[in-house]
């Protein structure tokens, strides 16, 4: 019996930190991936125990080595791996790790907790609404929110891309500061949700993703997840504990780059 079950080539590459699944498909389409010395095709299924997979001539290890970190994203930084307008991205704040991608989005004007991982399955499970990993925010508004507006936020409103609602919403100190829990992560969804009830979000901070808390992590800095945190995040996303996964011990991804 094979020690590793057969899997689609793009998933194999994503789980080993080479690229996201979409990025892996592009590598395959560009002719940069070989299986046992032969050019691969989209949709190829490989047996990691038997097949030799290489990208640009470099053999990809059989054992998956995953890296997952959390970053306290400052405002003014875009959540993308690269930006055509040369804006500062979240990747400028961390030490480079091959295959590391942001999980979901956090718009440029917003701050707070962002998860980045080389594990394509984890990224998909945490970001897809059907897995139920919630995101919690603190929104500072242009004025106090009324009880009726709070009720409307949780009852739901119609946005241009469909209905939206907060799972929970409550005042967090002053009437103008609201804690909201969301199940989805559509583009600028929290801001648009408040705008639909006549309120402007002046500041938005994501303070939690599932069981992960922002805590005291300084703005602009990152750290690796502790094993217990990673296990709880996987459990929240309905994922099994990883098996036969090598442990990365280098501290490189935990050290944030200094702002330029």
Instruction: Please say whether the beta carbons of 177 and 198 come within 8 A.
Output: no
Instruction: Please say whether the beta carbons of 102 and 140 come within 8 A.
Output: no
Tokens of 8: 């689609």
How remote is the C-alpha of 240 from its chain's centroid? 18
At residue 80's C-alpha, the angle toward residues 224 and 226, to 5°, is 10
Instruction: Please say whether the beta carbons of 153 and 193 come within 8 A.
Output: yes
Instruction: Give the count of beta carbons closer than 10 Å to the beta carbon of residue 127.
Output: 19
3 state DSSP class of 204: strand
At residue 165's C-alpha, the angle toward residues 164 and 170, to 5°, is 155
Instruction: Please say whether the beta carbons of 83 and 89 come within 8 A.
Output: yes
Q: Does the CA dihedral 220-221-224-230 come out positive or negative? A: negative
> Is 107 labeled as catalytic in the residue annotation?
yes
Catalytic site residue from 47, 107, 119, 175: 107
Q: What is the DSSP string of 142-209?
A: SSPPPHHHHHHHHH-EEETTEEE--SEEEE-SSTTEEEEEES---TTHHHHHHHTTT--EEEEEEEEE
Instruction: Tell me the catalytic residues.
Output: 107
């Amino acid at each position: 019996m094979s020690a590793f079950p057969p899997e689609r080539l793009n998933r194999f590459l994503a789980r080993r930190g080479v690229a996201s699944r979409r990025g892996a498909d592009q590598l395959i389409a560009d002719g940069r991936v070989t299986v046992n010395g032969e050019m691969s095709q989209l949709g190829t299924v490989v047996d990691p125990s038997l097949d030799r997979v290489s990208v640009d001539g470099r053999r990809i290890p059989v054992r998956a080595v995953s890296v997952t970190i959390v970053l306290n994203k400052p405002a003014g930084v875009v959540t993308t791996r690269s930006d055509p307008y040369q804006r500062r991205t979240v990747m400028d704040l961390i030490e480079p790790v091959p295959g590391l991608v942001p999980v979901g989005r956090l718009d440029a004007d917003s701050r707070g907790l962002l998860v980045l991982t080389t594990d394509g399955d984890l990224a998909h499970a945490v970001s897809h609404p059907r897995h139920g990993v919630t995101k919690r925010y603190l929104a500072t508004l242009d004025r106090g929110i009324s009880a009726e507006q709070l009720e409307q936020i949780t009852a739901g409103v119609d946005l241009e891309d469909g209905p939206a609602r907060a799972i929970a919403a409550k005042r967090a100190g002053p009437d103008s500061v609201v804690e909201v829990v969301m199940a989805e992560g559509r583009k600028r969804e929290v801001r648009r949700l408040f705008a639909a009830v006549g309120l402007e979000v002046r500041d938005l901070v994501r303070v939690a993703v599932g069981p992960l808390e922002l805590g005291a992590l300084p703005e602009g800095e990152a750290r690796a997840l502790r094993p217990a945190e990673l296990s709880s995040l996987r459990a929240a996303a309905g994922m099994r504990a990883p098996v036969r996964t090598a442990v990365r011990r280098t501290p490189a991804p935990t050290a944030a780059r200094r702002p330029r």
